[in-house]
Amino acid sequence: MDAHISLSVCRGQRPDTRRIPDGCPKRLSALIELCWKQEPSKRPPFAGIESKIIEIVFAIQCDEKKKFFLFKENYPGNVIANIKL
């Protein structure tokens, strides 16, 4: 973890949301921003964070499988069609 961020959080500061990488999935970026809220009561509880991460990972996996099957439909007979998910 970035030591600067750790020290800032310990001092009650929050990281700048511009530090979230551009390629970060939007749903994950939104969760990160929620977790970085200044007011503790506006941050999700850990159980909520955990379940949201599971939802996000599942959604990303589903999106990747959809992309794979679309590719497979558009390029039948391609070697990649033999890959099992």
Q: Express each pLDDT in 59-68 by its tens digit.
A: 888 777 666 6
Predicted local confidence at residue 85, as pLDDT: 47
Q: Express each pLDDT in 11-61 by its tens digit.
A: 888 777 788 888 888 888 999 899 888 888 999 998 889 989 988 888 888
Q: Would you tell me the crossing angle of helices 26-35 and 46-74 to the nearest 10 degrees?
A: 170
Predicted local confidence at residue 44, as pLDDT: 92
Dihedral over alpha carbons 53, 43, 29, 52 (to 10 degrees): 20
- Model pTM score: 0.61
CB burial readout 18-39, b (16+ within 10 A) else e: eeeeeeeeeebbebeeebbeee
